Structure 1
Amino acid sequence: MNHQMDADSDSALVAQIHDQGLQLLESFDSTGDLSVLTNATLMLQKAVDLTPPDHPDLSSRLRDLGISLSRSFQQTGELSTIDKAIAVQQKALDITPRDHPDLPVLLNNLGISFSCRFERTTEYSDIAGAISSLQRAVHMTPDGQPNLPILHNTLGLSLLHRYERTGDLSDITEAISVLQRAVEITPQGHPVLLNQLNNLGLSFLRRFERTKELSDISDALSALQKAVEITPQSHPELPSRLSNLGIVYLRRFDRENELSDLADAISVQQRAVELTPQGHSILPVRLTNLAGSFIRRFEKTGEVLNIDEAIVVLQRAMNLIPQGHPKLPLTLMSLGASFHHRFTSSGENEDLESSLSFYKAAATSDVGLPQTLFIATKHWAARLFKYYPQSTEIIPALDRTLGLVSLMAGLEKTVRGRHSQLETTSGLAPRAAAGACELDRADKAVEWLEQGRCLVWSQLNELRTPLEDLRIHDPHLAQSIEEASRALEHAGTSRQQSHVGMSLSQKITLEDEARAHLDLARRRDELLQRARAITGFESFLMPPPCSTLMEHLPEAGPIIVINIDENRCDALALLAGLDEPIHIPLPNFSIEKANTYRTILDTKLRGHSLRSREVEPRGVTPAPVGKRGEDLSVHRVLRCLFEEVVKPILDTLGFSKVDRSAAEVPPRLWWCPTGALSFLPLHAAGIYRGPNQESVNDYAVSSYTPTITALTDRVKNNHLIDSTASGLFLTSHPSVSNAPAIPGTTREVRSIYERAKESGVDALKLEGDDMTVAQCLEHMQAFSCIHLACHGSQNAAEPLKSRFLFHNGSLELGTILKSNLKHADLAFLSACQTSTGKETLSDEAVHLAAGMLAAGYRRVVGTMWSIGDKAGQDVATSFYEYLFTRRGDNDIADFDGTHSAVALHHATQALRISLDDSERSLLTWIPFVHFGL
C-alpha cells in the first residue's frame, strides 16, 4: 500500500513538473523572454527523464519537450538543439499507436522541426522529411478539425522552403494552393491566421521573383499588409512580418521603379530590425535585407550616403552571424556588391579589393544554398575579368561556378527538374570558355564546355558507364555502383511530377518516391567516395580533364567545338595524337551574326511547307532584300557561315578539296557547336552561287556530336559493344489520329526493305496497325539498326516525353532510355525536326537525335526541320543503297552503320546535284544531319 502511494506521489510530482514547464512555455509565447523558454525546456526535460518508459503519458511529454526545444532553436540557432528536438519527436511518434488521435499533431511537430533544421543546414533530406510528415498529418485529419488550418499552414511553409532550395515551380504553386486553403478554413480572429497570411504573402513574392507576374506581387503585398495590420504591436512575430513586407515593397520597386516603394521598404525593414531582440538568430538576416534596400536606393539615386549606410548595416550583420550559417554567403555577397558600388563612386582601390574579397568568401563558402553560391561565383569571376583580366583567380572562380551548376542539377532530381534548373544557367559554359580563350587556356575552355553543356545527357551517360576497370579491383563495389546507377536512372526518368490537381494520397506516394530517389543519390555518392579512395581511381567518374578527353579521339578526323559568346567566338579542334586542342579564333563571327542568320533561316522555314509542296521549277530566283537593302536569303546565311566560321577552321587544319572525279571519299569531321550556332547548318555552309562555288562538303564529311564525351566514350568502349545481333528493323506510320497524313513514308520503307532483302540483309518491316509500341521496343532490342518513318513530336519542355507517333500509341524517348539496347548501332529518324533544340536550353541538346544517342545508338540520322516526302524517300533510299553495297569493307558480314556518315553525305549530295540552286532546293537537302560515329 505504501509503495502504491509512493508511486502515485511520484507520478503526481512528475505531472506537476511537466505542467510547470508547459506554463513557462505559454509564458514565453506571449513575452518572447528567452530565459523563460530556457527554464521551460529544463522543466520539460526533467519530466521526461522521470517518466518510466512504459508510462502512457511519455509520448505527450516527449511531444511537449520537442516543441520547447524547437522554439529554443528558432531563438538561438543552435544545431544541437534542433537535432535533439527531432530525436525526441521521432521517439514520441514511434511509441504512439497508429490509430491514436494525437498522431497528426506529432507528425506536424516533427515536420516543423525538420523544416527548421533545413533552414539552418539547407539539407534536402530535411525538407523532404518535413513535407512527408506534414502531408501525412493533413491526410489523417478529417475536415472540420480545429487543428487542420495549422497543419495546412506548416505544410505550405515547408513547400515554400523546398522551392527556395530547388527552384521547382510545382512546389511554389502547391505552396500557394495549400496556404490559400489554410486561410479559407481558418475562422476570422484565429491566431494562426496571422502566420498563414504571412506565409501566403511570402509564397506569392517568391513566385513573382521567378515569373515576374504583376498579379503575384499585388497578392503578396495584400496578404502581408493585412498580416501586419492585424498583428498586435507587442506580438513577437511582428518583426518577421514587417521584414517580409519590406522585401515585397523592394521587389515592387524593382518592377515599377517607384521611389515611394523603396522608401516604404526601408521604413518597415528598419522597424523590423528595431523590434528584433538583440541576440536573436534572425537579426543578421533582417539586417542584410535592410542593407539590400539601401543598396537599391544608391543604385537609383547615386547618393553615396546610402551605400555607406548599407556597409555599416552589413558589417553589423557579419559580426552577429555565426560561422557555418547558411545565410552567411548572402551577407558576404551583399558586402561585395556594396564595396563595388562605393568603388565605382570613389575610385578607391581599397574598396575594389574589399569587394573582391567578400565575393570570393561568399563564392567559396562551405554553406549556403547552391543558387546563392552560384550567383556569388558569377559576380566574383565577372569582377576579376573586368579589373584583373590576367588574375590567377579567374580559373578557380570559373571552376567553382561550373561545379555549382552540376550541384544545382543533381541526380536526386528528375530529368525535368534538372532541365528546369538549367534554364537559369543557360549560356554559362560558353561564357566561361570565352574567358578561358582570352587567357589562352584552350584546355580549360574544352573542360568547361564539356562540364557545363548537355549536362543531363552526360549524367545519363555517366550512369551507364562500363565499370570494367573498377570490377577488376573490387567487383562487389562495382556491382553496387552499377545497381545504384540503374535505379537512379529509372527514378530520374520515370518519377512523376506532383501537381495541384492530384489527391493528397497521390502526393504522399510521390513524396515517398522522391525521398527514395534522394536516398539513392546519397548512396551512390557514398559508393563513389569509396571507389575514389582506391589508388588509381581518385578521379573516378569525375569531370575529366582535357588530357583525358584527348585520349580517345576518333582517328578519322577532328572534333571541332565552336564556342559562341557575347565577347568573342572561337573554335577548338581536337585531333587524335595531339596533347592539346588547337585554338582557332573566329574574329569575323559574333553572337549577333548567329542570331541574325538564325532569324533569316527561321523566317524562310515558316514560309515554306515542305511536306505539302515540293521543290520549285529550275531557274535562278532573286535574293530577298530587307527594308534597308540587307540580303535576307538562305544563300547569305550559308555563305557567311562558310566564310566566317567554317573556312578559317578548314584552312587552319590543312583541309584541302577532295577530287570528286577520282571518287575520293572526303575525310571526317565532327561539329560540336554551342548556343545559337546549334540551330544553324554548319554541315551545309558554303557558297552556292557565282563562279567560285564551294562548300564544306568539298572538304569533309560532316557529323555532329552533342559533347566530346558522347563521341569519345563510343571510341573507348567500342570493344564492349555486343555485336551478336544485327540487321535492320523498319517501320512506317503514314498517318496517326489528329496528325496530317504523310504520303510517301510507306513507299520509302517498302523500297528499303526490298533492297535489303535483295542484298541478303536480315530485315523486318512492320507498317501501321501491324505494330504496337511494345513490339517496336522488342525489335529495337533485337536489331542493331532501326528506321523510323513516322511522325515525331518533340517536347522541349520535357525532353523525355518527346516521342514517335504510331498507329497504336506513341513511343516516348523516356521509355526508350529505360530499355536495355545492347545491340544499338544505327537509328535513321525519318521524321521532322528530330535534331531541333530549345532556345532556353540551347546547350542541352534536348532533341530526339541526341536522346537516341543517350539511349545507346552509336550513330543517328535526324533532321533539322521539316522534310519533303520525295526528298526523304530519295535520301533514305540512296543512303541504304550505299550501306548495302559496302557491307564487306569492315570485315563484318552482317549489316551495320559503320559507313553511315559517308552514306548520308553521298545521299544528300546526290539530291543536291539533281536540284537547282534556289532557296527551296537548298532547304530540301540541308535538313538531313548525322550524329555520332
Structure 2
Amino acid sequence: NPTLAHNYLELSKRVSNAAQSSATIADRAVADRAATEYRRLTGRWEAAVAEIRSLKDFARFLLPPAYEDLQAAARHGPVIILIASQYSCSAIIVPTSGEPHHVPLSSIALADLNNLKERFIGAIRHASRMNPTEPRNDLIVLLRIVWNEIMLPIVNVLENVLKLKRHSRIWLCPTAAFTSIPLHAANPFLLKADRSREPCLEDLYVCSYTPTLSALVRSRQSTGAGKGMALLAVDSELELVDKLVPATASRTSIFGDAATRAGALEALESNTWVHLACHGKQDPAQPYHSHFVMRDEHLTLLDIMEKDIPHAEFAFLSACHTAVGDKETPDEVIHLAAGLQFSGFKSVVGTLWEVDDSVAKHVVEAFYKYMFHPKEEGVMDCTKAAWALNCATHAVKTKVPLEQRMVFIHIGV
C-alpha cells in the first residue's frame, strides 16, 4: 500500500519537525498554537499507524515483538538470556512452552564479571606460553567460578523445574558483561566418591550461542541441505578439510595468491557452506567494516551483506582471531561470527581468542568427521554443527589443551 506508506512517512516527518520547532518558541501564544498543531499531527500519525496495524502481517508494526513470537527461538531447546547491571545479575530462561523463568544470580555482581574478564585474558595469555601437557590451573579456577556462581543456578532450573533431558540443546544469549565470559565451558572440576567426574555444562547439554532471540528465529527460517562448500584460506588447513568433505559435495578452494576479496565473494555466492581459515578483525566503531584478511584487500561484513547470499547455510571461522591481550579480545570474534549470522548464515562456528593452528587442526578434523558421519551419505546439514562441535571437543581432550578446546563456539541453529 504505497499511499499509506507515503502518508505515514510524511506524517512522521511533520510530527518530528513540529516537536523540534515547538521546543525553541519563547512566545506563550505562539507556543500554545504550536502545541495544538503538534497534538493534531500526532492524532493523524496514530491513526495512520492504527491503519497499518490492521493490515495482514503488520499487527506488531512499531511494537516490540510479542513473547509468543520470540518464544519461537526456543522451539528446539530453551534460550538462556543473561543480564548484568550495576543493580543485579540474573538469567531469564525462555522455555519451549510456557512462561519464562527468572533465575537470580545473587553470588555474582557486575564488578565480579569485569574482574573475571580480566582474569580470563591473563589466564589464556599465560596458557598460550605453557607446555600443552601442563595443567591449566588458572583456567580451572575461573571455570569453577563460572559453574558455581553463574551456570549452576541455571542448570538447577533446567534439570529440576523444566526437566530437560541430558544432551538436549540449549542456547546462551549473553548481554553486557556476560559476553566476555566463556559460559559454555563452565565446569565444576570435581570428582564424585567413586572417582568419576562431576559433569560439566557441555557434558549435560549441547550449547550454542545467539546474539538475540530474533536472530535465532530468523536463522530457523528455511534451513535446507547444503549444496556446495567454499574453502577460503591463506594457509594449509584447506587440504585437511577438503579430504573430510563428502565427495558428492561440490567445492571451491581458494588459497594462496588466489585468496582475493573478489574471489572470495564469487565463491560465497555460488556455495551454501564456507570454511574460512584466515585472520578476522572486529571493528567496534564501524561493525559493518569488520573484516576477514584476504591477499589483496579486506573482505568486510558489508561486502557479504551487499552480495546477498540467499542460500547461505553454514560458516566455520577456523583461524579468525585477534591478538591475545587486546582489550576487546573476548568480545571480538563472537561478534564477527554473529555478524555472519546477521548476514544470512544460519549456523556459524567461531573462535573466542587466538587459535594455535598446530593443535586446532585436531578440533577441525574431529568436527568435520562428526558433521559428515556417515560420510558415504554426503548429507550437508547445518543443524548438526552444535552437536558435532560438542563431540569434537570431547574427542580431542587428550590431544588439545583446555584453552584451545574451549576457544570454539557455535552460534545459530
Give the one of 129, 133, 149 matched to 1:618. 133
* Matching residue of 1:545: 66
TM-score by length of 2: 0.81
CA distance in 1 between partners of 2:333 and 2:294 (Å)? 24
* Aligned partners of 1:672 and 1:706 also within 8 Å: yes
Indicate whether 1:805 and 2:293 are aligned: yes
Tell me, in whole angstroms, the C-alpha distance in 2 between the residues paired with 1:724 and 1:877: 21
1:858 is the counterpart of 2:377: no
Question: 1:775 and 1:635, CA in 2 relative to 1: closer, same or farther beyond 3 A?
Answer: same
Q: Take 1:324 and 1:886, find their aligned partners in 2: how far apart are those partners?
A: 75
- Could you tell me which residue of structure 2 aligns to residue 322 of structure 1? 31
Partner of 1:574: 94
Q: Are residues 1:749 and 2:238 paired?
A: yes
1:113-142 CA-to-partner distances (Å, cap 9, x unmatched) read xxxxx997438xxxxxxxxxxxxxxxxxxx
User: What is the CA-CA distance between 1:712 and the residue it aligns to?
Assistant: 1.8
Q: SS at 2:208's partner residue?
A: strand
Residue 53 (structure 2) pairs with residue 532 (structure 1): yes
The answer to whether structure 1 residue 589 and structure 2 residue 108 are counterparts is: yes
Distance 2:25 2:382 in 1: 64
Q: Distance in 1 between matches of 2:265 and 2:48?
A: 32
1:909 aligns with one of 365, 375, 394: 394
Q: Which residue of the partner structure matches residue 774 of structure 1?
A: 262
Report the alpha carbon displacement of residue 597 of structure 1 after superposing the two structures with TM: 0.8
What is residue 878 of structure 1 aligned with on the other side?
366
Give per-residue Cα distances to partners, 1:174-223, cap 9 Å, x unaligned.
xxxxxxxxxxxxxxxxxxxxxxxxxxxxxxxxxxxxxxxxxxxxxxxxxx
CA change 1:725–1:562 in 2 (3 A) is closer
**Corresponding residue to 2:77 among 528, 553, 557:** 557
**Deviations, residues 666-695 of structure 1 (Å, cap 9, x unaligned):** 111000011111110000011236665431
Q: Which has the larger radius of gyration?
A: 1
User: Which residue does 1:352 correspond to in 2?
Assistant: none
AA in 2 matched with 1:598: K
Once the 2 structures are TM-superposed, how far is the Cα of residue 282 of structure 1 from its aligned partner?
4.3
Match of 1:895 among 373, 380, 389: 380
| 2:213 aligned residue | 708
Preserved contact between residue 796 and residue 847 of structure 1 (Cα < 8 Å): no
Of structures 1 and 2, the one scoring higher in RCO (CA 8 A, sep 6+) is 2
SS of the counterpart of 1:122?
Answer: helix
Question: What is the rounded CA distance, in whole Å, between the counterparts of 1:775 and 1:670 in structure 2?
Answer: 34
Q: Which residue of 2 aligns with 1:603?
A: 122
Q: Structure 1: which amino acid aligns with 2:239?
A: R
Contact 1:782–1:823 (Cα < 8 Å) also in 2:
no
Q: What SS is found at the alignment partner of 1:573?
A: strand
Structure having the higher strand fraction is: 2
Question: Is residue 355 of structure 2 the alignment partner of residue 867 of structure 1?
Answer: yes
Distance 1:670 1:281 in 2: 52
Structure 1 residues 724 and 772, CA, compared in 2 at 3 Å: closer, same or farther? same
What is the match of residue 669 of structure 1? 170
Deviations 1:524-573 (A, max 9, x none): x99987642426633246421213212x2344311111111222222111
Q: Please say if 1:926 is aligned against 2:406.
A: yes
Unmatched runs of 5 consecutive residues or more in structure 1: 1-117, 124-164, 166-279, 284-318, 327-364, 368-524, 624-632, 657-663, 735-745, 916-920
Equivalent residue for 1:643, pick from 144, 148, 159: 148
Q: 1:528 to 1:874 in 2, by over 3 A?
A: farther
Provide the C-alpha distance between the structure 1 equivalents of 2:336 and 2:271, rounded to a whole number of angstroms.
19
Structure 1 residues 539 and 784: alpha-carbon distance in aligned structure 2, compared to 1, 3 A threshold: same
| 1:768/1:806 contact within 8 Å kept | no
Q: Distance in 2 between matches of 1:872 and 1:695?
A: 22
Corresponding residue for residue 20 of structure 2: 122
CA deviations 1:140-199 (Å, max 9, x no partner) are: xxxxxxxxxxxxxxxxxxxxxxxxx9xxxxxxxxxxxxxxxxxxxxxxxxxxxxxxxxxx
Tell me if the contact between 2:320 and 2:351 (Cα under 8 Å) persists in the aligned partners: yes
Describe the superposition over 1:342-392 as per-residue Cα deviations: whole angstroms up to 9, x where unpaired.
Answer: xxxxxxxxxxxxxxxxxxxxxxx989xxxxxxxxxxxxxxxxxxxxxxxxx
Using a 3 Å threshold, how does the CA distance of structure 1 residues 548 and 122 change in structure 2: closer, same or farther?
same
Task: Return closer, same or farther for 1:677/1:725 CA change in 2, 3 Å cut-off.
Answer: closer
- Aligned positions of 1:281-292 closer than 5 A: 281-282=25-26
Structure number with higher helix proportion: 1
- The SS at the match of 2:55 is coil
Correspondence for 1:235? none
* RMSD after superposition: 3.7
Give deviations 1:711-742, integer Å, cap 9, x for gaps.
12333x22xx5x586122111113xxxxxxxx
Structural mapping, 1:300-379, within 5 Å: 322-323=31-32
In the alignment, is the contact (CA less than 8 A) between 1:785 and 1:896 conserved in 2? Answer: no
C-alpha distance in 1, partners of 2:226/2:387? 23
TM superposition score normalised by structure 1? 0.37
Shift of 1:655: 7.0
1:887 Cα deviation after fit: 6.3
1:652 aligns with 2:153: no
Percent of aligned pairs with the same residue?
29
What are the superposed Cα offsets for residues 23-73 of structure 1, whole Å, 9 maximum, x if unpaired? xxxxxxxxxxxxxxxxxxxxxxxxxxxxxxxxxxxxxxxxxxxxxxxxxxx
Q: Distance in 2 between matches of 1:527 and 1:764?
A: 50
Residue 108 (structure 1) aligns with? none
Q: How far does residue 864 in structure 1 lie from its aligned partner after superposition?
A: 0.8
**Structure 2 vs 1, CA of residues 686 and 726 (structure 1 numbering), >3 Å: closer, same or farther?**
same
> How far did residue 574 of structure 1 move?
1.2
Aligned length: 381
